[in-house]
Amino acid sequence: MSVNNISSHQRPFAFALALCLLLCLSNISQAWSRSVEKQAVLAVLTFNVARFTTWPKHAFKQTTNTFKLCVYGDNVVQQSFDFLNKKKLNNSSIKVINISRLRNLEQCQLLYISELEQNKLIPLLVDLKYKPILTIGENIEFLQAGGMVSLEKIIGKIQLSINLAIVKHSGLIISSRLLNLAKIVDTASEH
């Protein structure tokens, strides 16, 4: 049906429908871009947290020149970390590994987890508690479940929170310069 075939009493309806469709697509596009933007910021912050973290030598079992950054999340989350592939972190080259199943995590030096149900998250983090794998999530519940670092958006800003007791259990050391910027949370007594 062409515009010329629309009767005069159908035109306001057609116009309203077109306007509604345009607004809906605009909102979806804006939400998508905010989501992509947010995840890109979180990826950069994750890289910077890693820059200020020291791993024990045994954390690099197979090769000392590759830093394995594992990402669990949807496509937007995983794609936001792609730019880090082959970047240098200290003396290692980063290899981003997108994972869809939470298995074989011993290969990771850093595990970024986006949106995992508590009933799966808690046993996973309990299992990783004494391993030198830096775990980073997106909310305070992540820390309460036993995660190490949270990057949570609060009132338009990203709040860096660190569960220092859990970090120490793993043998990792986070620089005092980063700790001074973070909110230190202690949930070790809960686990």
For residue 59, what are its two tokens?
Answer: 């954390």
- Whole-model pTM: value is 0.79
Q: CB burial class (10 A; 0-12, 13-18, 19+) of residue 134?
A: buried
Sign of CA dihedral 46, 47, 53, 55: positive
**Same domain (yes/no): 50, 23:** no
**Same domain (yes/no): 29, 101:** no
Q: What is the pLDDT of residues 88-132, one digit of tens each?
A: 998 899 999 999 888 889 989 999 999 888 889 999 999 999 999
Q: What is the pLDDT of residues 43-83, one digit of tens each?
A: 999 999 999 999 998 777 666 689 999 999 888 999 999 99
For residue 106, what are its two tokens?
Answer: 């011993």
Provide the CATH number for the domain around residue 124. Answer: 3.40.50.2300
For residue 49, give its domain range.
Answer: 36-190
